[in-house]
Amino acid sequence: MKVRFAVSPGPGPYDSGRFGAFVDGLEAGGFDTMWFSDIPLGDEVEPIVGLALAAERTARLMLGANLVPIGRSPVQLAKQLVQLQEAPGGRILLSLVPGTGSAPERAALGLGRASRSAAFEAAVAALRRAWDTGAGGARRPLELWLGGHGPRALERAGRLGDGWLGAAMTPEEAAAAVARITAAAASAGRWIDPEHFGMSIPYARDDPGPGAFEALASRRPDADPRELLPVGSKAVHRLLDGYLEAGCSKFVLRPVGVVDLDDELDWLARTVLPRQS
């Protein structure tokens, strides 16, 4: 099983200088992938823009993103992604997510009272249809990984996805999710590559303060947030061991509370890159 590490720039407003330094550091440091998150109402770099900027700046680094397809034109999105994939090396990775479901975000995406699950599945189908028909010149499909951890999301990942990227789950929960997705795929007459299961992991080198744990607790009130956000290299390795045993081998690392990017990437490279295969 090939183990790969992606790194996210984390939350915060887009800053061209910091962004460029981060991209260059990942490329030079030997990490597999840079990863963007789609926060429709946030001030983080918009993922399509980020992918394009990073593609122009790199030659080797894989470029991935969680992307909310709801509210986007499927034809235009299909075309944008294909053109990005045609950059040297075809280095785009994609995980589609339905968003947070908050009332302000639902309003901004034009959902209103409509079913977010139904809208998400319709968007996935429309994107694939645009590739299948060559609409707007978009003729080269990408693999579509899906996110989510609820029963419906896991069934959907098996039925529609080419892979799965989970988040905020214990290794035991991840193992159950992998099994459920695999079973759903088999029920739909499909097969998902065992290499196509991953996990997004927030981490901290030192105590990130109560705010970080409180944010996780609000998302997963039924779990101990300290089991989901490892602090220090030993805790990072313990969690990775658990996820690997669960069947996950692709990881998006999300640093919490980082000030010095160069120092952070050096530490992260020493900590996890010996495990990359």
CATH code assigned at 225: 3.20.20.30
Rounded Cα gap, residues 36 and 48, in angstroms: 9
Rounded Cα gap, residues 236 and 243, in angstroms: 11
Q: Amino acid letter at 183? A: A
Please give, one letter per residue, the 3-state secondary structure of 214-233: HHHHHHCCCCCHHHHCCECH
Give the model confidence (pLDDT) of 171-182 as tens digits.
Answer: 999 999 999 999
Q: How confident is the model at residue 138, as a pLDDT?
A: 66
Give the model confidence (pLDDT) of 212-266 as tens digits.
Answer: 889 888 888 998 989 999 999 999 999 999 999 999 999 999 999 876 888 999 9
Q: Amino acid letter at 174? A: A
Q: Which residues contact 73 (CB under 8 A, 6 or more apart)?
A: none
Q: How confident is the model at residue 136, as a pLDDT?
A: 67
The two beta strands, 163-167 and 197-203, are: parallel
What confidence tier does 270 reach under pLDDT thresholds 50, 70, 90? Answer: very high
Q: How confident is the model at residue 265, as a pLDDT?
A: 94
Count structural domains, the chain: 1
Q: What is the mean pLDDT of the chain?
A: 93
Rounded Cα gap, residues 275 and 264, in angstroms: 18
Domain of residue 168, residue span: 4-275
Q: Copy the structure tokens of residue 203.
A: 């981490």
Give the model confidence (pLDDT) of 73-126 as tens digits.
Answer: 999 999 999 889 887 777 999 999 999 888 999 999 998 888 999 999 999 999
Sign of the dihedral through C-alpha 75, 77, 83, 88: negative
Among the residue ranges 78-87, 134-143, 178-187, the one predicted with the least confidence is 134-143
